[in-house]
Each structure stands twice: as structure tokens, then as C-alpha cells.
Amino acid sequence: MPDTKKFIENLSGAGKCIGVLTSGGDAQGMNAAVRAVVRMGIYVGAKVYFIHEGYQGMVDGGDNIKEASWESVSSMLQVGGTVIGSARCKDFRTHEGRLHAALNLVQRGITNLCVIGGDGSLTGANLFREEWSGLLDELVQSGEISEEASQIHSALHIVGMVGSIDNDFCGTDMTIGTDSALHRIIEVVDAIMTTAQSHQRTFVLEVMGRHCGYLALVSALACGADWVLIPEMPPKDGWEEQMCYKLSENRADKKRLNIIIVAEGAIDQSNKPITTELIKDLVVRCLGFDTRVTILGHVQRGGTPSAFDRILASRMGVEAVLALLEASPGTPACVVSLCGNQAVRVPLMECVQMTQEVQKAMDEKRFEEAVRLRGRSFENNLNTYKLLSHRKIDSELPHKFQIQTQANVHPISAASLIFFFSCFLSQIKEIKWGDVGGWTGQGGSLLGTKRTLPAKHIDKIAEQMRIHNINALLVIGGFEAYLGLMELQAARSKHAELCVPMVMVPATVSNNIPGSDLSIGADTALNAITDTCDRIKQSASGTKRRVFIIETMGGYCGYLATVGGLAAGADAAYIYEEPFDIRELQSNVEHLTEKMKTSIQRGLVLRYDLDILHRNCSENYTTDFIYQLYNEEGKGVFDCRKNVLGHMQQGGAPSPFDRNFGTKIAAKAMQWISKKLKEFYREGRVFANTEDSACLLGMRRRALVFQPVVQLKDETDFVHRIPKEQWWLRLRPLMKILAKYKTSYDVSDSGQLEHIVRLRAKDISAI
């Protein structure tokens, strides 16, 4: 077969001009997207222009449209909001305004637009594209451009990236800014919980989401809220009594606080608003609880972008440039979106139309259809919340997470579900519903954990399982848990007590478990790395010309170093999976030397560079060796410092992503256990001895998949405790390109335009 691989070296942007603008409401991560568009565009030889103040700047022209340089985006990555400005433009809604905008673009040769905004901004961009040829004809007739210019600039190409903290755009799992907004919300909720517990108070929190309840729903899952109200699923008649009953029931279980989260667009079945004051008055009147209201407002839009949003925006920005390079006059405008952990392109207007259909369904009180139209991510979040809040999922609503009522599942962190395998099961205790209240926001493992493998204690384990009548095992952990599950399954031939359904949920900051692209804890560690790098860069702002060598965790897995480097704007990341030698180190030093000289000439205030070092990347090239090499070779140009982040990457409260991912994957694992208990119940006992009764539940590209652990052996490098193939290695060229290194980048997976209906049908089993 012929080689169908496609590389970035074969794509050229020479002679092309790209304009990038941010429009509508601002969102954290927009700057990371702008940075990626600028640097990728320049990397392929195109000219890139900032269009300041959104469409207003395009209409007004002049200094609002400026050519961008590589260095002009060097301090953007960690800044919230949008540095190039955003404005809601009435002029662009008029034909005359769009005519002015077309003239300003043609005068600069811009025929490629990257628009970062919401559905309104993207709809406007598509209208502009459809009118483009007519607008040029008018400009020719008025004598403002020549016929030749009209021919040269005859086609306008549009690629969109969705920047919206509400996550209200159909066709993508996450929009730029949503994860950061969840960080702000959870930070507030965690802080409120301490004062609420002190005074036994009820807090009613209003979060953004005038038309979409995603922020309210996911934050409720992430903090274990008692009640949540969202516009897509209004509560049924009599909800007031049900809510008050649940609040009083929780207080009776000695819970000292209640949290109610309300989306600002929450409504009842009659489309009447449900406000925070209404809920407060209801709780005070019916229960007499001390109740306070907190409205988060624009706090949710502020602050630095999370690691997730920086990575998402960087990947989307690079993909947007690739889409523009590959566009032809007949190519429809597309949106670069996220499906699972895959970047895909979806027709812009399909996404816009489905987004508008959601609002239409809500206006017509077709709420179940509105939930379905929101997409798989929203639908599964809602069903998981209903399940874990002990509310019955309506039989007519499409869902994926039904579970038997005897399975006591609670919205909890990765180390808290029902039962945990540790050492030889010498400490076993039944866990009830109320025992795990508040565990969601706790870091570490409240049940405790050990690295001891079961093989040496297999007889005692079997005995304890018999004594306590254990009929299933849920194992939560890292590579030791993976090895332990294999040992338990291998021992089934000698111990019938081990013939029970077993499932593992991957939880390790290293993200090195075969069979899963993501592990619980990795996102929290990435945020710890990113936050530390931001502080280190800030500390260097007054010093200038300084290089930091930062050592991360990860064993032999370079995930944290690579993805942390992409999120922090690193210049290099040294890892075990990608061998390097002294020549590459010397090349990196020379690269930094030239970079520092250029920066001084440009008079930049900040001049810092980060080298993320993975601690087991080489036996000889240690952190100290690389530090000394950089220090010696950089004399007279830059000085060097080193930092070892250590166990701070494992500490702290879990990120919203990890709380939500841990909750949903654990709920799915319990659904599997419930199903297997029925399947393997024979003659008064459970007996499971098939390969598929001992599985690892992992994220594979776009879906959560149960995989027999014995089938994962061939995918495992047991010596180095890593998978033989790791998806994130494909992100390494992005980091190098954005740091101005020439590199090879396989873009074979790019260029596939997926239709939104097919995309959802294919991913029916995903999270």
C-alpha cells in the first residue's frame, strides 16, 4: 500500500495572510489560541494579522489590524481574557459594515480568518463568507479595489474555534474557557464549604449559564451539591417539597451544610425563572435553615486559564491553521472541536443550527430533546448526577448510566467508592451512603493506599474475601493496581473466592496505565506544574535572560513533562520515550542563546525560558548535568536555575476535571459490576472466571471502554511501567513548533471533516 502519511513539511503558507480575532464574551484560553494561530501561521510561512476589538476592529481598520510577530505573543499563554480585545459590533450586522470590513481585509491581502468566539460570532463569520464575492464586486464597482485584486482575493476561508465559558455550543465536548470557569466555581465552593460547616448553613450559589446549565451541572457533580437547577431540565411540579425534604434528610444524617447550585437561566416547567432569592426564601420559610446567597458573576470569566484550556486552545489553534492551509474555494466554514481527546473539524453551520435547535426545544418545552441535542457529554453528566443524587432516571429519557438501587454510589473522588483493594485486605469496613459525603473535594486517598502487590498474600486475601462475603472488587490506583489485578486474576485457578467480577479504574498522576489515554489525578498534577511555572516565570520578570530547568514526576512516562511543557510554554521537554544526546542538548542551548539575543534587541520586558525535564529521561543526562551544561554554555547570555517540583504534584485538592472524570468513570464501573453480578450469579453464589470478568475501564480516544487485563499484556512495557504506544507523543511536535524549533509533524489525522450527527452516533458509548 502507498504511504498515506501527511507531514507539516509538505504544507506551505507562503503567500497567504491569516487574520485572527476574538469576538463576543471573553473566555480564559483565548490568548493561548491566538498564540498558537500566530506561531503556527508564521512557522508555515504565512503572514498573520491581529484584528483588535473583534469585528469592530475589522470594520474600523487602521491600527486595529496589525501584523503579528513571533515575539508579540510570547507573554500571552498564561493571561486570562483576550489581549487583542473583543467587542460586540452592531456595525458588522449591517451590509455597509461588512463592506468596510471586506475592504480592510483585501487591502492587507487577508483571505483567511480564524474566528474565536461563540455561536453569534461564528454565524456572522459564515454570513461574511457567503457574501464575500458580492462584497468584492461592489468594491470593484465603486473603484475602491481593482478587478485584479478581486480575482486574487476571490475566496474567503473561515475556521472557527469556540471560546465560551458556558460550553453552550453543539459539536464539541468542551469549549475554550469552560474548564477555567469550573476552576473558579470550585475554588469558591471549596472556600464556602468551610464557613458553611462552621455555622451549619445552607448556601445558594448562582453560576453563569443563561441558556446552558453545563457549569451548574458539572460543578454540582464536582462538589457533591445537594440540588442543582438548570434551564435544560426544569424540576417537575412539587420540586420545592422534594428539595426541602432532601435538605432536611441530609441534616438528619448529621451533614452540617447544604449546597444548592443554580444556573442564572434556571426555569420551572412553566418557563418561569427560578432565582436564588426565591430558593433562599423557600428554604428559610419551610426549614428555618440559616441560608445565604452567593452570586459568582464575572469571577468565572477571570483569572488565568487552566492547564486543560491552554492545551485545548493550543491544539485547536494549530489545527485551525492546518484547516486554513488545506481549504479550497468550495470548502465550507468549519469549527475545530474536541471529541473525547481527539481534535476534529465539524461544519460550522451544522453546529450553529443544532445549537439553535436546543434553544428552540427549550422554548417549546421539549426539554428531553434539548438535553439530547446538547450532546453526549452534557447528557451523560446529567444522567450521572441524577444517579448519584439518588434521584430516579426517567425511563423515557435516553441514558447510559442505570444501576441497581442496591449499589450505593455517591459523587466522590477517585479513592472513595464502596471498597478499595489494599495490601491483603486486613482492614475491611462497609461504607454507607453518608460516609463518603464531602470526599469529592479531598485530595489523596482517604481510604489509604499501599504499593504492596497481592501475590505474596494471596491466601490471606482469599480468606478475607470469604469471611466478608466479597462478591466484586473495584480497584482504584496506578501501575501497582494494574499489576495487582493481573495477579488476582491469575490466582483464580487456586482460589474460588477470587472468581468474582473485578474492575480497575486508573488513578495516577503519571498517566502511565495501558488501556487508558487518561488517568484520574493527571489533570490536577498538570495544573500544579502549570501554576508553579507561572510563578517561576513571574519571578524572572525583573531578572531577564534566565533559563529554568524544572523536574517533573512520572517515572519513565513523559506525559507530565510533555503536556505540562505545552501548557507552560516550554522550550524543550526531555523524556525517556524520545532519546536525546549531547548534540541535541547543545542545539537547544544554541537555540536559547539566539532567542535571548533577539529578545534583547526587541526590548521585551519579560525574557524567560522553561525546560521541563522528566526525571528518568536518561541514566547519564541527569537534572544536575543538564543544569550545569546550560549554565556553562549560556555564560554571558543567560544564567540558569533548577527546580524540582516533587510531591507537590500529588498534593492539593483535585481539579474539577479530575472530580468529574473520577465520578463518571467510577459510576460506569459500578454499572458494570452490577451487570456482572447478575450475569455470574448461579446457584446462590457469584462465580466469574472468564477473561472479561476482570477488566480495566479506560478512556480510549473518544469512549470509555472495558478491556480484559489479560489482553492488555501485549500493550505493556513492564520493565519501564508504561504503555508501548502513547497518544500524547503526537503532541510533542506541537510544543516544539510553538517554541520555534524545526521539526517533523505528522498531520495525517487532520483534514477529516465530520458531520455532527455521524459524530454523535459513532460515540454513543463515550463518557
- Rounded to whole angstroms, how far apart are CA atoms 542 and 606? 7
As a whole number, mean pLDDT of residues 61-83 equals 94
pLDDT at 690: 95
Quick: pLDDT tens for 73-96: 988 999 999 999 998 899 999 999
Nearest-CA neighbor of 647 among 538, 532, 753, 724? 532
pLDDT at 635: 84
Alpha helices, H only, 288-413: 307-326, 348-363, 367-374, 376-388
581 vs 360, more confident: 360
Quick: pLDDT tens for 284-317: 999 999 999 999 999 999 999 999 999 999 999 9
634 vs 763, more confident: 634
Contact 552, 529 (CB under 8 A): yes
What DSSP element (H or E) covers 524? helix 522-539
- Strand pairing report for 716-717 and 703-708: unpaired
Quick: pLDDT tens for 29-43: 999 999 999 999 999
pLDDT at 617: 62
Quick: pLDDT tens for 339-389: 877 888 999 999 999 999 999 999 999 999 999 999 888 999 999 998 887
Backbone angles phi, psi at 719, to 5 degrees: -65, -45
Could you give the angle at the alpha carbon of 9 between the alpha carbons of 3 and 13, nearest 5°? 125
Residue 510 has pLDDT above 80, yes or no: yes
pLDDT at 433: 79
pLDDT at 88: 84
Single-letter code of the amino acid located at 666:
A
Residue 215 has pLDDT above 90, yes or no: yes
* DSSP 8-class letter at 7: B
Would you please indicate which residues are annotated as catalytic (active-site) residues? 166
- Rounded to whole angstroms, how far apart are CA atoms 307 and 617? 23
pLDDT at 449: 84
| Local confidence band at 612 (pLDDT 50, 70, 90 cut-offs) | low
Which percentage of the chain shows pLDDT scores above 70? 89
- Rounded to whole angstroms, how far apart are CA atoms 373 and 352? 12
Residue 178 has pLDDT above 60, yes or no: yes
Quick: pLDDT tens for 542-570: 677 888 888 899 889 999 999 999 999 98
Quick: pLDDT tens for 90-149: 999 999 999 999 999 999 999 999 999 998 999 999 999 999 999 999 999 999 999 999
Single-letter code of the amino acid located at 354:
M
As a whole number, mean pLDDT of residues 735-748 equals 85
Quick: pLDDT tens for 614-648: 656 656 778 888 888 888 888 888 888 888 888 88
List 696's β-bridge partners, or say none. 504, 707
Positions of E strands within 508-667? 546-552, 572-574, 608-614, 639-644
Name all domains of the chain by residue range, CATH numbers in brackets.
14-175+305-364 (3.40.50.450), 178-301 (3.40.50.460), 421-519+654-721 (3.40.50.450), 523-650 (3.40.50.460)
